[in-house]
Structure 1
Amino acid sequence: MEAQKSKIDPFAENELWDILRPSRLQERIQKNALGEVNSPPTDGTPYLKVVCISDTHEQLHNVSVPDGDVLIHAGDFTNNGNDSELIKFNEEMARFPHKYKLVVAGNHELGFDPLENQNQRLPADRGLGTEAGYELLTNVTYLQDKEITIEGIKFFGSSYHPLNGFPFYRTRATELAECWKAVPNDTDVLITHTPPLGYLDQFGEERWGCKDLLYTVERIKPAYHIFGHVHEQHGCLSNGDTTFINAAQCNKGNVIQTRPIIFYIPKRP
């Protein structure tokens, strides 16, 4: 079993996190029964209600999604990016009442990454997926190295991750550091598929998070960082500047198990 784990991400940076951990604050944030991590302003300040989900793996119909202003899906809405599931997901998203629906792709959205080396795919995934499948997502705002400002709040989304064999894989050595340079310095809500190193990223004995993403978050200090990818780590942490939300809905066996996470953020003029 240990040998199998080591093959998933042989470059997981556990040792680096052991060095970084003592200087990093990690405060657990408890959600209430509704899945809320904070309360809306009570002084009349206008705000956005943001609902976060991720890793629904073709089971969005089994998720009880509360209403709100913004619905975020942080990737892995399909198992392999086939067109019928993309069309189904797009139709399901259209039925939700949220005015804004923001989506990033996950590593299971095969065909979404135009720069993917498909020769590196896992054998079971070769030949699968839909080239430029994001074009089928007509009922959402698809974010890949893109930003959108809603009521003065800047959201930025990107799908890169360090897990070899999938779309949007980039190397930990140099490529990911370059990728995260695209994140604007004034980002309020960052949406990625991968977690940052050390924050809700542990899969078995491995840390699947990205160190360069962690450094980017620490530099930019967004109010919220939304992601998924590691199903077992659903929940919320804070480092004092940023609230980290792993919004994965499925458990390790790809069965819907958790509920969406909600936060409230004041609008800006």
Structure 2
Amino acid sequence: MSPPTIRFLVLSDTHHTGFPDPATLPKADVILHCGDLTMRGGLSEYKPTIERLSACNAELKLVIPGNHDLTLDQRWWTRHCQEEDADPDDHDKARAMFDFKTTGIRLLDEGNYTFTLRDERSFTMYTSPYTPYFCDWAFAYGSQEDRFGPDAVNPIPKGVDVVVTHGPPRVPHDDYFLDQIQEGKFIGCSTLWTAIRRTRPRLHCFGHVHEGYGAKAVRWRSKETAVSWATEAKPPFDLSNATKGESGALVAGSEGETLLVNAAIMDNQYDARNQPLIVDLESSRASL
């Protein structure tokens, strides 16, 4: 008998106008938005996304902010709200728009969570809206900061099922493109990749790099999770195209694998050309 699965509908970078019509989306157990709901965090920009997300057919609707969602970053907004000629209270007002009782949406801060569906399928999740500093956008960390390592304030824990970050990791492999921008540069975070290698989640979802839409499967060659492989002849993992099941959904959760998903809806011209990605996560680690 096949293990039960949890179906995720994953999307990111809808930027105010790009959230799909809920009537066109399939039912899922969990809808997961990986950030950049808006262009610049204006309160009016959140409204259509919240309305459409609320109307989606899913038991759980989970959201993290991205670097464009300026008003959701309290530290950023405190420093810059006068420059934006906006109300200092817009941070609190923006967060209040995601009130769970009225929207059914959970806005997640950086940290660890456990979610249990009504039928008791469950999964653990780590989330972070932070990306490497770029042009003074929100939720930024410095180039020398290890945001996700064991000594961080909110490290990614070993054994977590799902990792959700706004930005992608920098995976050292010739066939990896999920962090590649139009100019050909790779802008993913190396310390995030180090944390993914250390913790080996079954699913890692992100966006941020519009040109990097797609999915790749990492197959770990051993159980060793040491963070340095500089002396190895080749990386201790294989990278391949993601596998689809009979339903057409991407498959995550196979033993010894991590599925990497860039679900950016907007392309590099800010046209909503990409579709949300459907992922079936085997719930073998769930408490059933």
Q: TM-score per shorter chain, which class?
A: 0.7 to 0.9
Q: Aligned partner of 1:221: which letter?
A: R
Are 1:258 and 2:274 an aligned pair? yes
**Shift, 1:58, TM fit:** 1.2
**1:76-135 residue CA offsets vs partner (Å, 9 max, x unmatched):** 1111111122232222111111000111101110121122277689x9x83469314233
Q: Distance in 2 between matches of 1:160 and 1:180?
A: 13
Consecutive unaligned residues of structure 2, counting only runs of 5 or more, are 220-256
More strand by share: 2
**Segment drifting more, 184-193 vs 129-138:** 129-138
Q: Distance in 1 between matches of 2:53 and 2:270?
A: 20
| CA 180–56 in structure 1, closer or farther in 2 if over 3 Å, else same | farther
CA contact (8 A) 1:60 1:92 kept: no
Q: Which residue among 87, 105, 114 is the counterpart of 1:148?
A: 114
**Segment drifting more, 185-194 vs 195-204:** 195-204
SS in 2 for 1:217: helix
Q: Aligned partner of 2:128: which letter?
A: S
The higher relative CO (CA closer than 8 Å, separation ≥ 6) is in 1
Q: Aligned partner of 2:206: which letter?
A: F
SS in 1 for 2:75: coil
Are 1:54 and 2:12 an aligned pair? yes
| CA 242–128 in structure 1, closer or farther in 2 if over 3 Å, else same | farther
**Shift, 1:205, TM fit:** 3.4
Are 1:214 and 2:214 an aligned pair? no
SS in 1 for 2:131: coil
CA contact (8 A) 1:82 1:128 kept: no
CA contact (8 A) 2:110 2:128 kept: yes
Alignment correspondent of 1:223: 202
Q: Which residue among 47, 52, 73 is the counterpart of 1:113?
A: 73
Q: Which residue among 57, 60, 63 is the counterpart of 1:97?
A: 57
Identity over aligned pairs, percent: 26
**Aligned Cα root-mean-square deviation (Å):** 2.4
TM-score by length of 1: 0.76
More helix by share: 1
Alignment correspondent of 2:258: 242
Q: Distance in 1 between matches of 2:57 and 2:20?
A: 17
Alignment correspondent of 1:136: 97
Q: Distance in 1 between matches of 2:85 and 2:12?
A: 25
Alignment correspondent of 2:48: 88
CA contact (8 A) 1:237 1:244 kept: yes
**Shift, 1:207, TM fit:** 2.1
**1:133-169 residue CA offsets vs partner (Å, 9 max, x unmatched):** 2331122111111323232311221101003211101
Q: Which residue among 72, 78, 83 is the counterpart of 2:38?
A: 78
TM-score by length of 2: 0.71
Alignment correspondent of 2:128: 158
Q: Which has the larger radius of gyration?
A: 2
**Segment drifting more, 79-88 vs 189-198:** 79-88
Please list, as runs of the form range in 1=range in 2, the aligned pairs for 1:171-186 lying within 5 A after superposition. 171-174=142-145, 176-177=147-148, 179=152, 181-186=154-159
SS in 2 for 1:102: strand
Alignment correspondent of 1:187: 160
| CA 120–61 in structure 1, closer or farther in 2 if over 3 Å, else same | closer
Q: Aligned partner of 1:66: which letter?
A: P
CA contact (8 A) 1:180 1:216 kept: no
CA contact (8 A) 1:102 1:142 kept: yes
**Shift, 1:186, TM fit:** 2.3
